[in-house]
Amino acid sequence: DAMVIQNPRYQVTQFGKPVTLSCSQTLNHNVMYWYQQKSSQAPKLLFHYYDKDFNNEADTPDNFQSRRPNTSFCFLDIRSPGLGDAAMYLCATSQDYFQETQYFGPGTRLLVL
C-alpha cells in the first residue's frame, strides 16, 4: 500500500500560471519535506514541517509556498512558474528528524510551457 502519495504524477502548466502539487501520507509522521530535483542533480530541500511548524530553506525562492492543513496532507504552491521551475518535485516524510528513515513519494514531474 502506498504510504506517501503525490498527485498528480505529471503536471503541465503555462509560464506564470499558478500550480499546486499535493502530497499525502498514511504513516502519521510528524515531518514532511518538499524537495526539488532537476535533471541529473541531487534533490534540493525547499521546505520542511514538523507538525505545523514550518521551516523553509534560506535559498528557497519566494515564488514557492507551502501549506500543511493537517498531519496527512502537504501542498506545494508555485505562484508564478518560470521555465527554470520545471523539475521533479519530491515529497518525503519521517517520524522525526533524528536518525529517522525518510519515506519518499513517487514525485510529480512539472513541465512549464
Partner 1 sequence: KNEVEQSPQNLTAQEGEFITINCSYSVGISALHWLQQHPGGGIVSLFMLSSGKKKHGRLIATINIQEKHSSLHITASHPRDSAVYICAVREIQGAQKLVFGQGTRLTINP
> Which residues of this protein are in contact with partner 1, per CB under 8 A?
33, 37, 41-43, 45, 48, 50, 55, 57, 88, 90, 92, 97-107, 109
Q: Residue 17 — φ and ψ, nearest 5°?
A: -90, 120
- Of residues 33 and 64, the one with the C-beta less far from partner 1: 33
Shortest spacing between CB 84 and partner 1, in angstroms: 18
Question: Rounded CA gap, 98 and 95, in Å?
Answer: 9
Shortest spacing between CB 6 and partner 1, in angstroms: 9
Cβ 91 vs Cβ 104: under 8 Å: yes
- Of residues 23 and 90, the one with the C-beta less far from partner 1: 90
Question: Rounded CA gap, 61 and 88, in Å?
Answer: 16
